[in-house]
């Protein structure tokens, strides 16, 4: 279990028998919106938010809980405005795609598939632009770091 999950369980006094896969979805949303580590914390060895999210996705068995978790991570992508929103809202998703592309290609495919489906569902009127935006982000991430 990643350090961040242990911290959440300890600090929020969550009893072990109450930890379910559906709680992981809420934790992922909390990580995206409320946990914004400083550069010093990251350099000091803090567990990355995306690694905690990846771990949750890897251990989850319930498909509905997995879908809710992915929605909680990528929801802000659908409405992101670079001039108004913090990059920290989309950074865990970006790093999740980048990290799974290198370390767990099956999970990367699953996340990208979900992202394309979600962009169609949430951006009905602007479907084309949502897909172009998503492809642009993915190209910027993946073409810079191909596995060897």
pLDDT in the model for residue 63? 94
What value, to the nearest 5°, has the Cα angle with vertex 101 and ends 100 and 102? 90
Residue 132 has pLDDT above 70, yes or no: no
Q: Establish if 52 belongs to a structural domain.
A: yes
pLDDT in the model for residue 148? 45
Q: Establish if 148 belongs to a structural domain.
A: no
Q: Establish if 147 belongs to a structural domain.
A: no
- Encoded tokens for 84: 């108004």
Measured from the Cβ of residue 45, the count of other Cβ atoms closer than 10 Å reads 7
pLDDT one-digit tens code per residue, 32-77: 888 777 777 666 666 788 888 998 899 889 999 999 999 999 888 7
Q: Establish if 65 belongs to a structural domain.
A: yes
More confident residue, 11 or 110: 110
131's enclosing H/E stretch is helix 127-142
Q: Establish if 101 belongs to a structural domain.
A: yes
| DSSP annotation of 16 | G
CA distance 124 to 126: 6
Asked whether the beta carbons of 123 and 80 are under 8 A apart, the reply is no
pLDDT in the model for residue 84? 81
Lowest mean pLDDT among 51-60, 62-71, 79-88, 134-143: 134-143
pLDDT tier at 134 (50, 70, 90 boundaries)? Answer: low
Q: Establish if 40 belongs to a structural domain.
A: yes
pLDDT in the model for residue 147? 46
CA distance 98 to 28: 17
Measured from the Cβ of residue 119, the count of other Cβ atoms closer than 10 Å reads 22
- Mean pLDDT, the chain, rounded, equals 77
Specify the 3-state DSSP secondary structure of 7: helix
Total number of domains constituting the chain: 1
| DSSP annotation of 79 | G
- Determine the structural domain holding residue 16 and report its residue range: 3-142
């Amino acid at each position: 279990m990643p350090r961040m999950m242990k911290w959440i369980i300890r600090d929020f006094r969550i009893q072990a028998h109450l930890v379910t896969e559906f709680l992981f979805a809420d934790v992922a949303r909390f990580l995206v919106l409320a946990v914004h580590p400083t550069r010093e914390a990251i350099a000091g060895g803090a567990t990355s938010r995306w690694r905690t999210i990846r771990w949750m996705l890897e251990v989850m068995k319930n498909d509905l809980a997995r879908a809710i978790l992915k929605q909680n991570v990528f929801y802000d992508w659908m409405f992101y405005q670079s001039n108004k929103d913090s990059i920290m809202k989309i950074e865990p998703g970006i790093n999740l795609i980048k990290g799974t592309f290198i370390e767990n290609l099956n999970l990367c495919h699953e996340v990208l598939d979900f992202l394309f489906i979600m962009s169609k569902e949430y951006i009905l009127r602007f479907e084309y632009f949502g897909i172009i935006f998503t492809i642009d982000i993915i190209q910027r991430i993946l073409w810079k770091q191909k596995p060897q």
